[in-house]
């Protein structure tokens, strides 16, 4: 029963997300509302992590398979895709690589910069502290 | 043949799972990035349908049960994200700057290339939401007057590319930090890429999940502006 109870909680949150998607006039799907609601419920402690963890891990584990039916649907979209195939394919490949490289490099650079800055201020603070202690000793 | 398949509530799921496990076997044997289990399973199912003459609509009747799980699975991404919340708080500046740059880079690349290829406005806005998760992307494309079926196709191809190429691109551009890796994969190739990030590690998976949400929302806001540019 443990798994079904956990799955039930996940589905209940998903369901609230679906309702929000219906009620609000934004192009945001129920799954995204659900993800944010689940995160808030975990942070506020309304849902404890052990109450959803096992079923969530199972769903995430099999997630790649869930894309198969939609991807096989490319067979049907082929007719519409064919006339614009070359530019569309080129743009798709190029922008996927660009976005991955830009997001990764920029976030990595900013995080490293900030890490260096904080360690620098840490070093300055500890150096000053050491100096002050030396002065204290002198006195 | 179509009638037998259409009458079954399991055929589509069975053939998809079977294709995926054949993919896993081939991946384990060859250890090549291109032998991605998701890619192989898609090709196997496509070939089976073509060879046997089974219509996609017949396969879809039972195959949809796999897709059904996608919404609760996406909601479940909150769990690894919650477990990495301290990392998110510690690195929030780098994460925000990275994701905003990523969303801008996505739409700017589509803009520049659409101008170069002299695509119509309709084709341009169809491509704009290509990096974000399917459900948001469909909404954006529809609102801007794009062709939704092509948007969905492009989003799926983008996801598969990201899933297959993630390791090589991260290596090529020397993206080694697990937080940066996860963000890069999620921002460029949404949930399909995230499936690969989850296999890389907990941090990568959590950050990739975060990127799906944030990049999706940034694109909702940014796309209407970008749509006016061309």
DSSP state of A63: G
Out of A14, A56, A74, closest to residue B153 by CB: A74
pLDDT bin (cut points 50, 70, 90) of residue A136 is low
- CB neighbour class for B224 (10 Å; exposed up to 12, middle 13-18, buried from 19): middle
Q: Which residue do the tokens 């749509």 mark? A: B227
**pLDDT above 70 for B95:** yes
User: Could you say which of B49, B66, B213 has the minimum Cβ distance to residue A36?
Assistant: B213
ipTM above 0.90?
no
Residues in Cβ contact with A129 at an 8 Å cutoff, skipping those fewer than 6 apart = none
Answer whether residue A132 shows pLDDT above 80. Answer: no
Q: Of A65, A63, A92, which Cα lies nearest the Cα of B15?
A: A65
CA dist., res. B83 & res. B209, Å (int): 12
Q: Which of A10-14, B169-173, B214-218 has the lowest mean pLDDT?
A: B214-218
In terms of C-beta density within 10 A (0-12 exposed, 13-18 middle, 19 or more buried), how is residue B162 classed? buried
Q: What is the mean pLDDT of residues B15-34?
A: 90
Provide, as residue numbers in chain A, all residues whose Cβ is less than 8 Å from the Cβ of B112.
Answer: none
Top-confidence residue, B13 or A115 = B13
Average pLDDT over residues B120-124: 93
Chain A contact present for B14, CB below 8 A = no
Task: Supply the pLDDT for residue A138.
Answer: 61
Nearest to residue B83, comparing CAs of A53, A18, A125? A53
**Residue pair B31/B10 in contact by the 8 Å Cβ criterion:** no
pLDDT score at B99:
96
- Cα–Cα dist B12/B133, whole Å: 23
- CA B139, A34, B206, A93: dihedral to nearest 10 degrees? -10
Greatest CA separation for chain B: 57
Write out pLDDT tens, residues A65-106. Answer: 888 988 898 888 888 888 888 999 999 999 999 999 999 999
CB B141, CB B129: distance < 8 Å:
yes
Segment B151-174 shows an average pLDDT of: 92
For residue B192, what is the nearest residue in chain A, using CA coordinates? A64
Residue A139 has pLDDT above 60, yes or no: no
Q: In this structure, are residues A6 and A54 in contact, taking their beta carbons and an 8 Å threshold?
A: yes
Nearest CB to B98; choose among A42, A59, A107? A107
Q: Residue A3 pLDDT > 60, yes or no?
A: yes
Average pLDDT, chain B: 91
Q: What is residue B192's DSSP assignment?
A: H
Please tell me the distance from the alpha carbon of residue B132 to that of residue B159, in angstroms, as a whole number.
9
Task: Say whether residue B202 is in contact with chain A using an 8 A CB cutoff.
Answer: no
Q: Would you state the structure tokens that stand for residue B85, as one six-digit string?
A: 């919340």
Residue B130 confidence (pLDDT) above 70:
yes
pLDDT of res. A137: 62
Closest CA to B9 of B83, B81, B55, B61: B61
- Residue A127, pLDDT > 80, answer no
Range in A14-23, A120-129, B61-70 with the lowest mean pLDDT: A120-129
- pLDDT (average), residues B164-179: 94
- Give the residue from chain B lying closest to A67, CA to CA: B67
Global confidence as pTM: 0.84
Tell me how far apart the alpha carbons of residues A32 and B77 are, in angstroms, rounded to a whole number.
10
């Amino acid at each position: 029963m443990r798994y079904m109870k956990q799955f039930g909680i996940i589905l209940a949150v998903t369901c609230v997300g679906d309702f929000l998607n219906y009620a609000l006039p934004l192009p945001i799907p129920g799954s995204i509302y659900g993800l944010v609601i689940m995160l808030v419920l975990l942070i506020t402690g309304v849902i404890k992590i052990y109450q959803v963890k096992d079923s969530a891990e199972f769903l995430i584990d099999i997630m790649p398979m869930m894309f198969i039916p939609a991807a096989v649907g490319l067979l049907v979209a082929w007719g519409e895709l064919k006339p614009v195939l070359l530019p569309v394919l080129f743009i798709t490949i190029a922008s996927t690589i660009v976005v991955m490289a830009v997001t990764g490099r920029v976030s990595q650079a900013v995080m490293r910069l900030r890490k260096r800055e904080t360690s620098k201020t840490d070093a300055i603070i500890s150096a000053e502290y050491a100096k002050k202690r030396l002065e204290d000793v002198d006195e | 043949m179509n009638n037998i398949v259409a009458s079954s509530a399991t055929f589509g799921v069975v053939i998809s799972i079977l294709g995926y496990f054949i993919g896993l076997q081939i991946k384990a044997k060859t250890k090549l990035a291109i032998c991605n289990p998701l890619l192989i399973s898609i090709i196997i199912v496509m070939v089976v349908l073509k060879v046997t003459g089974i219509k996609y609509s017949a396969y879809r009747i039972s195959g949809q049960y796999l897709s059904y799980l996608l919404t609760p699975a996406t909601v479940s991404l909150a769990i690894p994200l919650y477990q990495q919340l301290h990392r998110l708080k510690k690195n929030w500046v780098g994460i925000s700057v990275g994701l905003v740059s990523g969303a801008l880079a996505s739409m700017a690349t589509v803009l520049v290339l659409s101008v170069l290829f002299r695509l119509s406005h309709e084709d341009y806005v169809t491509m704009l939401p290509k990096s974000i998760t399917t459900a948001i992307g469909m909404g954006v494309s529809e609102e801007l007057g794009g062709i939704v079926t092509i948007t969905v196709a492009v989003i799926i191809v983008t996801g598969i590319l990201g899933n297959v190429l993630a390791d090589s691109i991260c290596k090529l551009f020397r993206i080694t930090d697990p937080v940066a890796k996860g963000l890069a994969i999620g921002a460029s190739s949404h949930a399909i890429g995230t499936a690969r990030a989850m296999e890389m590690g907990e941090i990568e998976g959590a950050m990739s999940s975060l990127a799906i949400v944030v990049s999706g929302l940034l694109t909702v806001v940014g796309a209407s502006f970008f749509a006016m540019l061309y």
